Amino acid sequence: MELYVSEFSKYVIALLLIFYTYECFAVFRFEEEAQRKGIYIRQNLFMFLFHFSCFLVICFETSDITYLFFYAFQQIILYAAIVLYHMLYPKTNRLIINNMCMLLIIGFVILTRFGIEKAVKQFIIVTGSLVIALIIPFFVHKFKFLKNLKWIYAAVGIAALSVVMILGQTTYGSKLSYSIAGLTFQPSEFVKILFVFFVASALYEASGFFEVFTTAVVAAAHVIILVISKDLGSALIFFVVYVLMVFVATRNFLYVIAGLFGGSGAAYIAYRVFTHVQVRVQAWKDPWSVIDSAGYQITQSLFAISSGGWFGLGLYKGRPDDIPFVEADFIFSAIAEELGILVAVCLILICVSCFVMFMNISAGISDKFYQLTAFGLGVTYIFQVFLTIGGGSKFIPLTGVTLPLVSYGGSSVLTTLIMFAVIEGLHIVKQEEEELRKRGERKVRRKRKPVIDEMEDLSGDEIEKEE
């Protein structure tokens, strides 16, 4: 019986996620949230069935029915989040909320499979983070002064990173975190958000050479501190986010080229100077030759990715524990092994779907500050996903960052939920801009009915001034 359940469920689980993922992209066929309602409801249904099937398998495999209680709690919290968000902010983007919950569900399932203790800890952190995330959209679209705090963002960010560099404990060769009252914080996670706000507030008004230069100095300070702390993954994220934000702000492709050259030069110097960079590159180029030492993690990760096949070995049937730090840095490999390549690819696509929606929101906002913020956060998110999945599958060298919302880790999940919430706030900003524009259009139409063509010259900014 148990065997039939686990064999049959593999296909059901993969299929449900494929349906869900399909809807993630079907959303983009429609312009208006109202038209997408059916899709969102179907998504919620697939989520629910996926979540339930996974926990049913967990109960069967462990012969422990109490997991269903844990499932029930998760279910309540996640659906409360979906419903409350919708009630408090009718103008939210529901795709982002759904994807956020879906990724959390995948994380809960795989973490529960690793061990109930960490899963419960993660669940508590997620619950707290969701409460915080619930109020953030309000602040984002009400507090207009967020635009004016650029030096505060920079100062707080650099200070937080420096404190860690100087005082922080060493975790596995890199100084990443410090503890307050038993809770371990990894400030580089939170500083990512501050950094995006800093760049956006510094460049939204003017983005001439002077502005770019001053922000570059601050960005370099962030990156250098992180490199010294040996947090190469975060350093790379800050760098890429900065270059791409400058590109969007200035609309000048030369900055990307300059960034590319500068980045390559810096990477080369880092490679020559730091032995830990050399070790990482070596382990990427040929992990099999250093399988005992530097290549151990990545080869174990590759074993996991390659052993699952299309539909996976089934929950509890793989050997994720063979990979060191599987719950943080290599969770994708464990998912690929036990839930299969199809689920793993769907997971990648769900992340891409989030990113595309973030970019859509960014492109739809006229206010440059908000636009840059949405863009920067989106790039931060997707580039981190790229680093962790690409690193764990030997697509790129390993940098050791977490898979947002799925991996175990309080700082990571809290930061990502805040990021998602900020973007929801920005979506509300966008919706309100659109409403204003429509209202303005109606006004104009009444005034100058015959001259329709001229209306097209009205950009959002002008309408805002009219307000």
Partner 1 sequence: MKKRNENKKNKKKNREIRIITWGFVVLFLCMAGYITYYSVTNHQELINNSYNGRQQALLAQNVRGRIYSGDGIILAQTITDEEGKETREYPYQNLFAHVVGYAVNGRMGIESQANYYLINSNAPLSEKAALDISGAKYPGDDVYTTLNVELQQVASTALGIYQGAIIVSEPESGKILAMVSKPDFNPEEILDIWDELIADKESSILLNRVTQGLYPPGSTFKIVTALEYIKENKDTYQNYSYNCTGAITRGEERIQCYHGSVHGTVNFNRSFAKSCNSSFANIGLSLDRQLFQDTLEELLFNQSLDLPFTTGTSRVEVSEQTSEGDMMQISIGQGTTGITPLWLNMLTCAIANDGTAMKPYVVDYVQNSAGTRIKTFSPAVYGKLMEEQEAEILSGLMRDVVEEGTASRLSGLSYTAAGKTGSAEYGTVKGDSHAWFTGFAPAENPQICVTIIIEGAGAGGDYAVPIAKRIFDAYFEG
Binding site for partner 1 (CB under 8 A): 1-4, 7, 244, 247-248, 251, 291, 296, 299-300, 302-303, 305-309, 318-319, 322, 336, 341, 344-345, 348-349, 351-352, 355-356, 359, 362-364, 375, 379, 382, 386, 389-390, 393-395, 452, 455-456
193: number of Cβ within 10 Å: 20
Residue 92 three-state SS: coil
Beta-ladder partners of 177? 169
Task: Give min distance, CB of 101 to partner 1, in A.
Answer: 21
- Residue 289 token pair: 């030759």
Q: What is the DSSP letter of 454?
A: G
| Least spacing, CB of residue 312 vs partner 1, in Å | 11
Closest CB to partner 1 among residues 7, 151: 7
Would you state the structure tokens that stand for residue 305, as one six-digit string? 């990715």
Rounded to the nearest whole angstrom, what is the least distance from the CB of residue 273 to partner 1 in the complex? 28
Residue number, 140 or 382, with CB nearest to partner 1: 382
Q: Which is nearer to partner 1, 188 or 333 (CB)?
A: 333
Residue 242 beta carbon to partner 1: minimum distance, rounded to whole angstroms:
13
Q: How far is CA 463 from CA 177, 213, 367, 438, 455, in A?
A: 46, 32, 12, 10, 11
DSSP three-state, residue 143: coil
Crossing angle for the helix pair 37-62 and 94-114, to the nearest 10 degrees? 10
Give the C-alpha distances (Å, rounded to integers) separating 55 from 68, 115, 343, 429. 7, 13, 16, 38
Nearer to partner 1, 308 or 409 (CB): 308
Instruction: Supply the minimum distance, in Å, between the C-beta of residue 178 and partner 1.
Output: 32
- Judged by beta carbon, residue 456 or residue 467, the one nearer partner 1 is 456
Q: Find the shortest distance in angstroms from Cβ 446 to partner 1.
A: 16
Residue 38 near residue 25 (C-beta atoms within 8 A): no
Choose among 5, 106, 94, 115: nearest CA to 50.
106
Among residues 197 and 386, whose Cβ is nearest to partner 1?
386
Q: Which residue has the tokens 């250098």?
A: 224
Could you tell me the smallest distance in angstroms from the CB atom of residue 252 to partner 1? Answer: 9
Give the torsion sign (CA, 235, 335, 52, 346): positive
Task: Give the nearer residue to partner 1 in terms of CB position, either 71 or 386.
Answer: 386
C-alpha distances (whole Å) from 151 to each of 155, 205, 268, 377 are 6, 15, 31, 19
